[in-house]
Amino acid sequence: MTSTSSQARVRFIFFTILLDAMGIGILIPVMPDIFRRFSTDATDVSRYYGLFIGVYALMQFVAAPVLGALSDRFGRRRILLISLLGAGLDYLIMAFAPNLVLLFIGRIISGLTGASMTVASSYMADISDDNNRSANFGMIGAAWGLGFITGPMIGGAIGSLGPTAPFVAAAVLNLANFLFGIFVLPESLPESMRRRLEWRRINPFAALVKILRPSPILVLLWIYFVVFIAGQVHPVNWTLYTQLKFGWTAWEVGVSLSFVGVVFAVAQGVLPRYVIPKLGEPRSLTIGLFLYALAFAAYALATQGWMIYAITAASCLSGIAMPALQSIITKGVPMNEQGELQGSLVSLGSLASIIAPFAYTELFVRFTAPESPIFFPGAAYIGATVICLVALGLDLLGRSSTVAASRASTGA
């Protein structure tokens, strides 16, 4: 594969993920308003919000290893296109759901088809080598960041048109994504590298059992899981937190999330290329985790809306953590197993995303309900801070264990 061809493929997958992220980002600023159609109780709205996110994650947990294994067997392109088409059609179902039951049924289907990140990550792994792996995985993060620059602003802007408008917009983006893939996305996994489809590989629990067996990267996998839980505090709590504490409108929420997207895009798409080679992947991971913890604590304690922007900008460097972590993990897995690995990683992320919405919304409700003895809307962000510190402790513990083992093997 020529350098030009490889760069073109990176761009293709970048834009595929970008459009997918835009579709998701459109919904975030207006989600509470969606549930206010069916309930006027603030506690119910918060809990429905968490359940809506958690159900999606649960379905992704089920679907991710299936899509990963299918992409190992039939190729990345075909499976990615099917999942994008299904997601686009399902947003239309949710747009016109007349009650909560149908809305949640739509969300279940959306989760099943929305695990396309598994295939996209496998595609990126296929076309990467040791020289560009961190940078390429940083492009995945950058695409998500750019999607959240435009998506929330669109959602905040068109939310005034009615509760169905954001869903229709998300459907249009996913269907555009599908068409984009048909015409410009080539296959990345050669026929000679494909594996037989084995049913044990599509069992999400079997995938987790396998990936969490003792191995040189086990501690890194636990870090990935814990960091994913911490990172979910933004999609779960951002809208609820900023609307309650600062009185932000859906438009203001959308603008703030777009700013987060700008910072995230720089942190994931630009910084890894320059910072990680200088610091090294292990040190980049440690520094990034520490800065994550500081940022979440600062969000919790912010007293003015403008502080959210300052904190977000100051935490930019923390974005090097995940590309470094993903690069370290993928180095130890052969090319023809990347689909299974990425499917398992998405399953870990989905499991974290199942836990996080219930935990964070419950923290939010407990500290904002009228009967709460302490009013503290930032409680969920303190929870995320603690979780990041756990990840940092695992990182330092794993590194010290590796150094000790190395010294023992050399007789030092």
Angle between helices 233-246 and 379-410 (to 10 degrees): 150
Q: What is the pLDDT of residue 403?
A: 46
In a domain, 385, yes or no: yes
The CATH number assigned to the domain holding 388 equals 1.20.1250.20
Ranking 64-68, 150-154, 225-229, 374-378 by mean pLDDT, the lowest is: 64-68
pLDDT digits (tens, 9 = 90+) for 159-198: 778 777 888 888 888 788 788 778 877 777 777 777 776 6
Residue 37 pLDDT > 50: yes
Give the chain's domain count: 1
Max mean pLDDT among 22-36, 199-213, 374-388, 389-403 falls in 374-388
Q: Which two tokens stand for residue 201?
A: 């590989």
The DSSP code for 77 is H
Report d(CA 170, CA 76) in Å as an integer.
23
Which run of H or E residues covers position 107? Answer: helix 100-113
In a domain, 101, yes or no: yes
In a domain, 289, yes or no: yes
Task: For the chain, give the percent of residues with pLDDT over 90.
Answer: 15
Q: What average pLDDT does the segment 6-16 reach?
A: 74
Max mean pLDDT among 123-127, 295-299, 373-377 falls in 295-299
In a domain, 196, yes or no: no
Within its chain, how far is the Cα of 9 from the centroid?
A: 21
Tell which wins on pLDDT, 129 or 102.
102
Tell which wins on pLDDT, 1 or 392.
392
pTM over 0.85: no
Q: What is the pLDDT of residue 310?
A: 94
CB atoms within 10 A of CB 278: 8
Q: What is the pLDDT of residue 242?
A: 93
Q: What average pLDDT does the segment 95-120 reach?
A: 78
> Average per-residue pLDDT in the chain?
80
pLDDT digits (tens, 9 = 90+) for 365-411: 999 988 888 899 999 999 999 999 999 998 888 766 554 444 444 45
In a domain, 190, yes or no: no
Q: What is the pLDDT of residue 380?
A: 94
Report d(CA 204, CA 207) in Å as an integer.
5
Helix (H, G, I), strand (E, B) or coil at 247: coil
Q: What domain range is 295 assigned to?
A: 3-183+201-410
Within its chain, how far is the Cα of 199 from the centroid?
A: 26
Q: What average pLDDT does the segment 220-242 reach?
A: 89
In a domain, 188, yes or no: no
Q: What is the pLDDT of residue 300?
A: 95
Q: Which two tokens stand for residue 401?
A: 């264990």
Nearest to 227 by CA among 323, 308, 303: 323
Ranking 4-8, 13-17, 353-357, 380-384 by mean pLDDT, the lowest is: 4-8
Tell which wins on pLDDT, 58 or 208.
58
Ranking 9-13, 31-35, 354-358 by mean pLDDT, the lowest is: 9-13
In a domain, 271, yes or no: yes
By the 10 Å C-beta count (0-12 exposed, 13-18 middle, 19+ buried), 250 is classed as buried
Q: What average pLDDT does the segment 233-255 reach?
A: 89
Q: What is the pLDDT of residue 201?
A: 64
Q: What is the pLDDT of residue 405?
A: 44
In a domain, 64, yes or no: yes
Q: What is the pLDDT of residue 4?
A: 52
